Amino acid sequence: METEGRVPGPALPAGGEGRGADSHVVAGVLGTARGPLLAAEVLALDDEEDDLEVFSKDTSLTEVNSFSPSVPISPSSMINQYKFEDGPELRDLFITVDDPESHITAIETFITYRVVTKTTRGEFDSSEYEVRRRYQDFLWLKSKLEEAHPTLIIPPLPEKFIMKGMVERFNDEFIETRRKALHKFLNRIADHPTLTFNEDFKIFLTAQAWELSSHKKQGPGLLSRMGQTVRAVASSVRGALKNRPEMFTEMNNYMETFSQKINLLDKIAHRIYKEERDYCNEMKEYGPIHTLWSASEEAIGDSLKGLAGCIDRCCRATERRMAGLSEHLLPMLHEYILYSEILMGVLKRRDQIQGELDSKVDALANKRTEKDLFSEEIGKLEDKVERANNALKADWDRWKQNMQWDMRSTFTNVAENNLRYYEE
């Protein structure tokens, strides 16, 4: 049984939205019976007042219980991997998503997931919460966050449904993939210095079903949101691009190329997966032939049987390799495809805001009213966006590196296994 310990660290300051706070580094330390000590890594980019750093983390998380040291690791297949940074501190919000269940009502069938939250934060009334949420609730949360922080990078949600292949919405594999993605989604929000204190987020984690539905109804209606969109489109059409600072043009170009490359990589990875699967299937036929042959031979019969055994083991090693691919590389690539879409969206929104700024500046040139207020407000937003982007960029590089490092070491292991198994 694995034991977990925790290292006491300075408590997190409670922060409100948009309030200035010192940039902080947060890490959790997890001790296991056999694994190395691991900690979350956070990149603190700048010391400005607006703390908009985005936490970086590896893809897979596990249930970490900050209170009882003998809670068993959740049965999910994810492994927790963190890297050491200086000054480990404590995360105070731990979320897991698990236990999908389907509910059948008169109108529809849907799946709910259990969301378990454990926290030490003061503003939470209790230290543990367990609620059930369905996909629609997650969508709602995401749109609220986007509304409140149009220029921050909100983590991606798994898609509503996959276009190709999946017929059954409640296919087990699909549910599991979605569950993992939802888990990641919530944890990324929790690690984000600003988003984590969002009120809607808190309600999402803590409210009972009926509370949540009544809260949902309070938000700005669909019509007003549509109005916003129309204005936004209009303003962007009006040539918000002409004043765009150099940096954002660069970012736009970068994102275009990046998203192209990521899509290609995703295709390649899927192709490799398919080829490996085909290879495995052929190997499955290859082995038994040798066994069959050994039946008619006397002297070389044993060698043939040995070869057949090795081929079978190769098959299994290949299967493990494929599993490694599908568990790590493919989801990671997929997430970044979504991310690239999100980032394009963020850049667009930034452009919109700038558009507003520009149009207001133009208007002010004519009217000279409320000048300071507007431009200041808009300038601030711009800076926010800037910093958010930088933070994400730098930090995801490191993040990706860790990811790929893991993937490759899986491959190396497979190659080594192959070697061992191929000896006659």
Partner 1 sequence: MEDCLAKKMEITVSEAEKRTGRNAMNIQETYTAYLIETRAVESQSEGQCAPVESLWRRYSEFELLRNYLSVTYSHIVVPPLPEKRADFVWHKLSADNMDPDFVERRRIGLENFLLRVASHPVLCQDKIFYAFLMQEGGWKEMVNETGFQLKADSRLKALNATFRVKNPDKRFTELKHYSDELQSVISHLLRVRARVADRLYGVYKVHGNYGRVFSEWSAIEKEMGDGLQSAGHHMDVYAASIDDILEEEEHYADQLKEYLFYAEALRAVCRKHELMQYDLEMAAQDLTSKKQQCEELATGTVRTFSLKGMTSKLFGQETPEQREAKIKVLEEQIQEGEEQLKSKNLEGRDFVKSAWADIERFKEQKNHDLKEALISYAVMQISMCKKGIQVWTNAKECFSKM
Binding footprint of partner 1 on the chain (CB under 8 A): 253-254, 257-258, 261, 264-265, 268, 271-272, 275-276, 278-279, 282-283, 285-286, 289-290, 292-293, 296-297, 299-300, 303-304, 307, 310, 394, 397, 400-401, 404-405, 408-409, 411-412, 415-416, 418-419, 422-424
Task: Give the separation between CA 208 and CA 302, rounded to whole angstroms.
Answer: 66
How many residues make up the chain in this entry? 424
Alpha-carbon distance values, 319 to 80, 201, 309, 327, 346 (Å): 23, 40, 16, 12, 39
Alpha-carbon distance 183 to 57, whole Å?
Answer: 13
Q: Which is nearer to partner 1, 135 or 258 (CB)?
A: 258
User: In this structure, are residues 212 and 204 in contact, taking their beta carbons and an 8 Å threshold?
Assistant: yes
- The CB-of-84 to partner 1 minimum distance in angstroms stands at 15
Q: How far is the CB of 62 from partner 1 (least distance, A)?
A: 23
Separation of alpha carbons 158 and 396, rounded Å = 19
Q: Which residue, 229 or 401, is less far from partner 1 as judged by CB?
A: 401
User: Radius of gyration of the chain from Cα atoms?
Assistant: 26
Q: Quick one: 108 or 424, whose CB is closer to partner 1?
A: 424
User: Whose Cβ is closer to partner 1: residue 233's or residue 419's?
Assistant: 419
CB nearer to partner 1: give 108 or 282: 282
Residue 28 CB, nearest distance to partner 1 (Å)? Answer: 23
Residue 397 Cβ vs partner 1, minimum distance, rounded to whole Å: 5
CA distance 360 to 378: 10
Min CB(43)–partner 1 separation in Å: 12
Nearest approach, Cβ of residue 81 and partner 1 (Å): 14
Q: Which is nearer to partner 1, 189 or 314 (CB)?
A: 314
Q: Work out how close the CB of 337 gets to partner 1 at its nearest, in angstroms, rounded to a whole number.
A: 14
Nearer to partner 1 by Cβ, of 224 and 409: the residue is 409
Task: Please return the burial class of 32, using the count of CB atoms within 10 Å of its CB with bins 0-12, 13-18 and 19+.
Answer: middle
The span from the CA of 86 to the CA of 26, in Å, is 10
Closest to 171 measured CA to CA, from 411, 353, 354, 179: 179
Report the b/e string of 355-384 with b at 16+ CB within 10 A: bbbbebeeeeeeeeeeeeebeeebeebbeb
- How many secondary structure helices (H) and strands (E) does the chain include? 9, 7
Burial, 225: exposed, middle or buried (Cβ in 10 Å; 0-12, 13-18, 19+)?
A: middle
- CB 395, min distance to partner 1, A: 11
Return the number of the residue (129 or 399) whose C-beta is nearest partner 1: 399
